[in-house]
Amino acid sequence: MLRWGYRSWKGGVNKNSRNLNLTGSSVFHNVFQVPTARYTMQFREFFAVVLVVTALVFAAGCTGTQGSSSPSSGSPSTGTASIAAGSNLVPGPTDAVPDANQVTVDVGLKDYLGVVPVIFEGGNGLVHLKYGTARITRADGQVITQQFGNTKGSETDLQGTKQTDRVEVWVTMDNGKTYKVIDRLAPYSTRG
């Protein structure tokens, strides 16, 4: 805590003449009394707390899951739903997309209602993309497919369940070829 007052040490104020010595650092010490040992200790404690919080934030960021992958797109969506007998919730392989056709699609985490966002992020193959198709195979056996266009930032939401569902994304290029770029599980996370 800084205290306002006169100090006689370091040539400060002459108590008898009330003349101030305004030279050097003694002016500061005459006006303010700075208890450095106390503040050094508080700084060390503050620095330790900041260090621990930073480590915890870093650890939480490193252990999170991010569902980002390759292609998709966005424009008007059309959805179809059907019931699959003995639904297949096992992800399969994806296709190798040529570099000139590479696009990025982000399959986000499920929200508390079981909705999985699929967002088209663009890429080198943006000019060659006709449309994308996203399909969710729900844990209850229902299959929902939505088609979307090729505008960067386009998003479609797939209505899943509050269990683990399977998400697949295909992209269709202007040459007529279709590539499966995402095939993964979308687990439902609960707090706790």
- pLDDT-above-90 percentage for the chain: 36
pLDDT 10s digits, 165-179: 999 999 999 999 999
Has residue 73 got a pLDDT over 60?
Answer: no
**Secondary structure in 3-state letters for 112-139:** CCCEEEEEEEECHHHHHEEEEEEEEECC
Q: Are 125 and 146 in contact, with CB atoms under 8 Å apart?
A: no
Cross-strand pairs, 147: 78, 133
The better pLDDT of the pair 134, 69 is held by 134
Specify the CATH number of the domain 78-186. Answer: 2.60.40.730
* Single pTM value for the model: 0.55
